[in-house]
Amino acid sequence: MLLNQLSVTPLVVIKSAGKVPIFDKIGDIYICKNPKTSMMNSELVSKWLEILFPSEDTPDTPKRLLIMDSFRGHLTDQVKQTCDSLNIIRAIIPGGLTSELQPLDKTVNRSFKSHLRNFLKREMNSITNHSPTTNISQWNRQLMIQDVSQVWSLISPQTVINGFQSFL
């Protein structure tokens, strides 16, 4: 089954010192230490695609279909060129239709965000000087990486299957 062959790991983008983005794999997740911002952009999308879909120089490499939402970072010439070089066909979901046309948005993403939110609440409650003004900047980075890794492990292949079955 293709699902068992698919190995996808989450990417966490954090702002850091340095001159260029650095991608590290820690456990079962990738961390992008980006000097510019903690937000995803077309440069990071291109690099992430290169990590997920390593270039295969054989003429027999099958084309892949990648369904993306209309986030500006997905629509740039840089991302288009990266996709072309990796033999990826992009299918862009029009704005406002992601929840209707991308089944994993309702299942995997929703489940992941819900679990992560619960972990975050637990961590915020465990900070000794917890107050109503405690925020995510006080969330220890190492703890965040552990939480993302643990939450990702809670997403089962059956959740992915259910997402596609509910779409049909």
Q: Average pLDDT of each block of 10 consecutive residues along the chain (168 residues)?
A: 53 84 84 85 90 73 84 92 91 83 78 82 67 56 78 80 74
Give pLDDT, residue 149: 83
Q: Which amino acid is at 55?
A: S
First-last CA distance in the chain: 19
Per residue, what are the HEC states of 19-55? Answer: CCCEEEEECCEEEEEECCCCCCCHHHHHHHHHHHCCC
Return phi, psi of residue 54, to 5°.
-55, 140
**Which residues, at least 6 apart from 163, have a Cβ–Cβ distance to it below 8 Å?**
103, 104, 106, 107, 108
Give pLDDT, residue 3: 44
Give pLDDT, residue 135: 54
Q: Which of 98, 42, 38, 44 has its CA nearest to residue 68?
A: 98
How many contiguous H segments (helices) and E segments (strands) does the chain have?
A: 8, 5
Answering whether pTM is above 0.85, one says no
